[in-house]
Amino acid sequence: MLGLIAIFVAIQVLSSIQISVFITFCVFLVFFELMGFMWLLNEVLGGYPVEHNAIFVVNLVTSLGFGVEFCNHIGMSYMRKQGTREERAKQALLEMGSSILTGIATTKFIGIIVLAFAPSTLFRLYYFRMYLFIIVLGSFNGLVVLPTLLSLVGPAEDRSEIIEGLKD
Q: What tens digit of pLDDT does each residue of 36-55 get?
A: 998 888 888 777 788 888 99
Listed residue (155, 156, 131, 148) closest to 69, CA to CA: 131
State the architecture of 2-153 in CATH terms. Up-down Bundle (1.20)
Query: What percent of the chain stands above pLDDT 90?
Result: 51
CB atoms within 10 A of CB 104: 18
Rounded (5°) CA angle 4-7-10: 150
pLDDT tens digits for 68-81? 989 999 999 999 99
The ranges assigned to domains in the chain are 2-153
pTM: 0.85
CA dist 54 and 112 (Å) reads 20
